[in-house]
Chain A
Amino acid sequence: MKETPLSNCERRFLLRAIEEKKRLDGRQTYDYRNIKISFGTDYGCCIVELGKTRVLGQVSCELVSPKLNRATEGILFFNLELSQMAAPAFEPGRQSDLLVKLNRLLERCLRNSKCIDTESLCVVAGEKVWQIRVDLHLLNHDGNIIDAASIAAIVALCHFRRPDVSVQGDEVTLYTLEERDPVPLSIHHMPICVSFAFFQQGTYLLVDPNEREERVMDGLLVIAMNKHREICTIQSSGGIMLLKDQVLRCSKIAGVKVAEITELIQKALANDQKVRKEGGKFGFAESIANQRITAFRMEKAPIDTSDVEEKAEEIISEAEPPSEVVSKPVLWTPGTAQIGEGIENSWGDLEDSEKEDEDEGGSDEAIILDSIKMDTGEVSNIGSQDAPIVLSDSEEEEMIILEPDKNPKKIRTQTISATQVKAPSKKPVKKRKKKRAAN
């Protein structure tokens, strides 16, 4: 679906409001929207909501052979998908630019910063390493996808537990989840992206732009930082020219924001761990249950299936047995056989109807007999005339015969076919059969 374009008056309104230091949702310049983190039942599954922007993250692992030039390191794979439910414009196959940009930024932020210790993912050097795969799905787009995605990725990685492996000499034992508790990944630090949107050639700046603000912005600056105030990635796009002190100011703001967000993440992780340990219920079904009016839940309902057997037997006894289909193949030539008669070929009617008048006299045997009888009855009275004759009882539309000498020919063929009903009746049928066999 095409994206609805932003109207000029809306654009002007947004820019004017930004000039007056006002945002549509009432936030201040440096305010983030509400961040909500919830976890699923499997390890490594989380949903992050940044205002209305929602991202689902899932981490999975697999044992594979390592890359040839990195035999002792595990493999990290990131994949961000813009689901079609996020915005009508995100059709599969139509979002390449934005998708590539976001994926690349995410990779730089998480892989190049070495936040995950890949050496610890090695099981047998040169043969088996863990491949950690992070899948992120954007569920709703209300601006600032990159921040939400980076938070979801790092939270999912912190939440994930991989199966335990032990190596004794040449033997490698992979324990299932029941045998031994799964082991968390070793994470050095948590890089989080913070986005700054610039307006009017860098005069005004907003943190965490929402979807409307993103549409009218001039440029975007993304700084990925961890809570130790180390910059992991920095990217400026949109062609705006920033001064040095603007960038430094932004990095200071980013430091403050990242510290707040990291604290929130750690609280959420600790909370989830507590709930799991205490054996309480966890998962999405729980987290969405009571907070919204539109959520409704039903407990497990036992269903009475005691009368199911009787019902089933009734149905079977009343049902008709399947019709006996006996197929008798007819062999035409070696390599060509025919099973069944098939139905009347209705295509044939269109072509044949013109020839029928001259050759075979009608499509249906029964009707042939009737119409011929009537025709012969009439025609015998008027056969001697030369004027054009209209055969009104013909089954086709009114035929006007232009040349009188064709008449006796017609009558003759019809009368002939009247006597030899059986012979021609085989012909049309056979002709069609052959057509079908050829088709």
Chain B
Amino acid sequence: MKQVLKESLPANGDTSVLAGVYGPAEVKVSKEIFNKATLEVTLRPKIGLPGVAEKSRERLIRNTCEAVVLGALHPRTSITVVLQVVSDAGSLLACCLNAACMALVDAGVPMRALFCGVTCALDSDGTLLLDPTAKQEKEARAVLTFALDSVERKLLMSTTKGLYSDAELQQCLAAAQAASQHVFRFYRESLQRRYSKS
């Protein structure tokens, strides 16, 4: 069992999150699952102690990771993803998702697809804004965050806040899918660069 810590620091504009992955490693008997790996996600905010908002984000990220990580290859082990918010200037959850994905890839955890996070904001006149800043998020009528997979751009996770119609939801989803192409291209280029030098 390798205990490997890999770190990644994606920065969306001024939002940056540091991610570290341990695993597959030993797991406590109480948390052991007999036929797959136990995935644990910890998100630490920069100021103050972690609260309910962090817990709910951890759960969303964990559910996304569980959908892509091939846990069945490492039964009775634990894979731990630790996220530390370094600076928050909007679109935090999407940045966390990107960081987690890159860290999992770098640590060599087997996955069936990559995933990325995209945030969409709808303001009062219905304009769609991708990757909003903190100010734009605050003034928006609705903020939607999606996690998309890399194989077919399918939706892995979505969490939304605010009021929007179903047509707007589909529009945001289509826009997020278009945006995810750029993010995956960025993943590919940075991974190529990393592994070509070392």
Contacts and interface: CB of A to CB of B under 8 A. Distances in A.
A259 to B, nearest CB: 30
Contacts of B25: 1, 88
A92 interface: yes
Contact of A284 (B16, B178, B197): B16
Contact of A45 (B3, B84, B87, B171): B87
A60 B18 CA distance: 20
A47 B46 CA distance: 12
B197 A311 contact: no
A148 to B, nearest CB: 15
Given A311-B174, A312-B174, A1 B130 contact: no
Interface string B29-50: 0000000000000101011100
A41 B130 contact: no
A244 interface: no
B46 A137 contact: yes
A133 B45 CA distance: 14
B152 interface: no
Contacts of B86: 40, 45, 47, 56, 284
Interface stretch (A78-86, A222-230, A338-346, A351-359): A78-86
A312 B46 contact: no
A94 to B, nearest CB: 11
A139 B83 CA distance: 10
A315 B190 CA distance: 33
Interface stretch (B5-13, B61-69, B108-116, B136-144): B5-13
A296 B186 contact: yes
Contacts of B171: 308-309, 311-312
A42 B87 CA distance: 8
A293 interface: yes
Interface size class of B (residues with CB under 8 A): 35 or more
B194 A293 contact: yes
B49 to A, nearest CB: 8
B194 A58 contact: no
A405 interface: no
Interface string A29-72: 00000000000111001010000000010101000000000000
A137 B47 CA distance: 10
Contacts of A304: 178
Contacts of A311: 170-171, 174
Interface size class of A (residues with CB under 8 A): 35 or more
B126 to A, nearest CB: 11
A303 B87 CA distance: 25
The interface centre, meaning the residue of A58, A294, A307 with most chain B CB atoms within 10 A of its CB, is A294
A303 B18 contact: no
B170 A284 contact: no
A89 to B, nearest CB: 11
A298 B193 CA distance: 13
A313 B171 CA distance: 8
Contacts of B146: none
Given A137-B44, A293-B194, A296-B193, A312 B170 contact: yes
B170 A315 contact: yes
A288 interface: yes
Nearest to A134: B47
B89 interface: yes
B11 A83 contact: no
| Highest count of chain B CB atoms <10 Å: which of A41, A285, A300, A304 | A285
A6 interface: no
B84 A139 contact: yes
B52 to A, nearest CB: 16
Interface in B67-95: 80, 82, 84, 86-87, 89
Interface string A312-349: 11011000000000000000000000000000000000
B176 to A, nearest CB: 10
B159 to A, nearest CB: 19
B174 to A, nearest CB: 4
B105 interface: no
Interface in B110-155: 128, 130
A296 B89 CA distance: 20
B11 A284 contact: yes
Interface of B: 3, 5, 7, 9, 11, 13-14, 16, 18-20, 22, 25-26, 42, 44, 46-48, 80, 82, 84, 86-87, 89, 128, 130, 166-167, 170-171, 173-175, 178-179, 182, 186, 189-190, 193-194, 197-198
7 contacts: A84-B80, A294-B190, A296-B186, A296-B189, A296-B190, A307-B174, A311-B174
4 nearest CB pairs, A to B: A85-B20, A312-B170, A296-B190, A85-B82
Given A135-B47, A303-B130, A312-B167, 15 more contacts: A83-B82, A85-B20, A85-B84, A88-B22, A88-B25, A293-B193, A296-B186, A296-B194, A298-B189, A303-B179, A308-B128, A308-B175, A312-B171, A312-B174, A313-B170
